Amino acid sequence: MESLIRYFLGALMILSFVLGGIFMIVPTFMDQLTALGFSPEEMRIWVYRVVVPTYFFTIAYFCYRYLTGKNPTSTAWPVLIVTFFFLITQVVGFIFFYFHWIQLVYLVVSIISFVVLREAHNRRKSDIFGSRL
């Protein structure tokens, strides 16, 4: 399981760097992913209803954590929270957006990501809190 977590987080890091760089240079790149089954307009609507709220919910959550004096319990915690809010916005997106098969693929990948990240967080948290100071 440890090697799965390492490979998963490594792949997620590389993917995030690549996509972050592409989106800085070509901000409309997401609209061009029509091979996934969405038209550019549908993809834009999906991004506005699912991806963008994820960032705002994450920012609000970490502001709340700061104001209440709580620190993240592991280094995987912020990534886990982003994935959690992405799951929530996807489920809400099912209600307000027409159903498409690619949404199920995104949801399944997000659920698998959440489970792996939760395991990584639990392992790191037990390393931190299980050790003596």
- Residue ranges of domains in the chain: 2-130
125 vs 33, higher pLDDT: 125
For tokens 């659920």, the residue is 111
Say if residue 108's pLDDT is above 80.
yes
Q: What is the dihedral of CA 36, 120, 78, 86, to 10 degrees?
A: 30
CB 38 within 8 A of CB 100: yes
88 vs 70, higher pLDDT: 88
Dihedral over Cα of 59, 97, 12, 123: its sign:
positive
Residue type, 24: M
d(CA 7, CA 46) in angstroms, rounded, equals: 29
What integer pLDDT is reported at residue 84 of this predicted model? 92
pLDDT band at 31 (very low <50, low <70, confident <90, very high): low
Q: What is the dihedral of CA 10, 88, 35, 116, to 10 degrees?
A: 30
What integer pLDDT is reported at residue 57 of this predicted model? 92
Nearest to 73 by CA among 116, 9, 118, 124: 124
- ∠ at Cα 109 (103, 76), nearest 5°? 130
Rounded average pLDDT over 121-127: 80
Q: Which of 17-21, 38-42, 55-59 has the highest mean pLDDT?
A: 55-59
Rounded average pLDDT over 29-47: 72
For tokens 């395991």, the residue is 119
What integer pLDDT is reported at residue 133 of this predicted model? 42
d(CA 18, CA 34) in angstroms, rounded, equals: 19
What integer pLDDT is reported at residue 34 of this predicted model? 56
